Amino acid sequence: MDSKKRIIVVGGSAAGPKAAARARRLDENAEITIIQKSPDLSMASCGYPYYVGGFFDDRNMLLCTPAGIVRDPKYFQNAKKINALTGTEVTGINRKEKTVSMVNMSSDKEEKLNYDKLIIATGAVPKMPPIPGSDLKGISTLQSMEDADFLKKIGKEKNITKAVIIGGGLIGIETCEALELAGIEITVIELLPQLLTFLDWELAKLVENHVKTKNANVITENGIAEFLGSSGQLTGVKLKNGIELPCELAVVAIGVSPNVKLAKEAGLEIGTTGGIVVSEYMQTSDPDIYAAGDCVESYGIITGKKVHAPYGDLANLQGRVAGENAALGINKAASPGTIQTGICKVFDYKAGSTGLSEKAARAAGLSDIETVINASTDKPGFMNGFLLVTKLVVERKTGKILGAQCVGPGDVSKQIAIWAMAIKGKLTVEDMVSADLPYAPPFSLAIDHSIAAAHIMQNKLSGLMTGISCKELKDKLDSGEKPFVLDVRGPDEFEQTRLGIGEHLIPLGALRSRFRELPADKSAEIICYCKISLRGYEAARVLNGHGWKNVKVMEGGIMAWPYPKEK
């Protein structure tokens, strides 16, 4: 009797090959087969926008190992002794017989394979809205290598002048940059009030402002009512408000749904998020079937709720767990869940997030929270530091860090990585105010941007500072309130840039000698700020020390102001 364990992996993008590779490293004798519908294997799908945008032109780079070897069936057979069947679709799973049915898409040949352990890694499918005209030529997604090849060809041929991106999420924004680099006039259309919904509005608005500086049009709070065309070809889109925009290309990027057709037909449990239900061991409701990647629902570590988290790195980590447990035959490796850490490039800006935004925290029922916004450079000015704007979300009572967002041209990735590990380690603000991070001027400020954000939060939680966001101040002004707005920068700075909201200029160095210009009523609301509000905070402490009782600091200062300025 053949004692070799038979492991079948359905899906060959991210989680599948990782699972197969991990299984092989733990069991040299197992018979491991990957079945992949696409002709390609182990695709770096997060790299598609950069391939389309011309950051590199060799398609094979999306399929290569770090050593530059293309991960094709020959590679998997020779290097890993894994049988990879590409261009082959799995049509069914018989759990009772422990077989999968498949068909070769070129020859139509049908076949069955037996398994001892099965790993489902079928990924996700792009959401397509039920809009009239969806069958017109010129409408695409950016979910597959075929999509990437199509958009790459469009960029090279330069026959298209106008394109519409439907959806302002990660893929939509990255596709916007890719097509703009190809010389195409872009309009991004987002149904919600903001781009990048993993950010809170005030940071998302900064990203939107930056996108607009790159000659891209952004339309929020609107959607597509109809695709317009002639002779089967896309010629434009009609928005929900009736406006028609001419375009020859539309890229739909409104998100993805778990690809659970096979799992559902096999009777596996599907969760409330639409993904396959798995345990921490990536085991499905069938003990001999595991699942990993974008097709599963994940455990949200902070809220304890299930989430769909289609991230490439998470898919690889989950695949590793599934492969190990399938190979060993016991559930040893575990995936603890996700805090949903992500980042994207927005031209020469970056936007990242980890944990919960303020909006997500409140939606999850976490009301006892505090937030701060910090703006500063990532390293000293004499080392050409670039701006970072961070919003930190913590539990007020305990100081436990719940989430962080960061945007700007500076080193956002480092900041998000710091906060992701802080959240994973269940650290508090008090832990972070004295974090021992590496410092040298080429890399960071003496007090790193992340530690400064923790200091601001500490000041806020201890009552040393009362903050107000730019949005809260703007809402006050729009509602007719008239707080005394105090700009404590220098006259030259004021002449160069000012908000134009009725602010009063009193430089910090002159503040103590000009108290007579402030409201005589010591309970009057005074809101202080400067470029990043470091001087604004110092001004607030001075005023508190001289009896003013209702002094606030506009967090992030002018650098975090997302609205038009007077100059």
**551-559 average pLDDT score:** 98
Whether pLDDT at 341 is above 60? yes
Q: What is the DSSP string of 329-391?
A: SS-------B---EEEEETTEEEEEEE--HHHHHHTT--SEEEEEEEEESS-GGGT--EEEEE
Q: Which CATH number fits domain 467-560: 3.30.70.3040, 3.40.190.10, 3.40.250.10, 2.60.260.20?
A: 3.40.250.10
| pLDDT value, residue 479 | 97
pTM for the predicted model, two decimal places: 0.94
CATH homologous superfamily for 348-462?
FAD/NAD(P)-binding domain (3.50.50.60)
**Among the listed ranges 1-15, 99-113, 299-313, 395-409, which one has the minimum average pLDDT value?**
1-15
The Cα 351–Cα 310 span in angstroms is 17
Q: Which residues contact 490 (CB under 8 A, 6 or more apart)?
A: 507
Q: What is the pLDDT of residue 277?
A: 98
Which residues of the chain does CATH 3.50.50.60 include?
Answer: 6-124+257-328, 139-254, 348-462
Q: What amino acid is encoded at 3 in this protein?
A: S
Q: Are strands 526-529 and 484-487 parallel, antiparallel or unpaired?
A: parallel
Looking at domain 139-254, its CATH architecture is 3-Layer(bba) Sandwich (3.50)
Residue pair 375/386 in contact (Cβ under 8 Å)? The answer is no
For residue 277, what is the DSSP state?
Answer: P
* Amino acid type, 300: G
- Fold exhibited by the domain 6-124+257-328: FAD/NAD(P)-binding domain (3.50.50)
Q: Is the separation of the CB atoms in 385 and 559 below 8 Å?
A: no
Mean pLDDT (whole number) for 134-149: 94
Q: How confident is the model at residue 1 (pLDDT cuts 50, 70, 90)?
A: very low
Residue 246 has pLDDT above 50, yes or no: yes
Cβ atoms < 10 Å from Cβ of 382 = 7
Q: What pLDDT, on the 0 to 100 scale, is given for residue 2?
A: 56
The proportion of the chain whose per-residue pLDDT surpasses 90, expressed as a percent, equals 97
Quote the pLDDT of residue 3. Answer: 75
pLDDT tens figures, 4-46: 999 999 999 999 999 999 999 999 999 999 999 999 999 999 9
Q: In whole numbers, what is the pLDDT of the chain averaged over residues?
A: 96
| CB-based contact 19:127 (threshold 8 Å) | no
pLDDT in tens, 452-468: 999 999 999 999 999 99
Judge whether residue 539 has pLDDT over 80: yes
CATH 3.40.250.10, the chain: domain bounds: 467-560
Of 484, 462, 459, nearest to 555 by C-alpha is: 459
Structural tokens at position 445: 């400020």
- φ, ψ of residue 521 to 5 degrees: the values are -75, 110
Q: What pLDDT, on the 0 to 100 scale, is given for residue 567?
A: 83
Phi-psi region of 317 (alpha: psi -120 to 50; beta: other; left: phi over 0): alpha
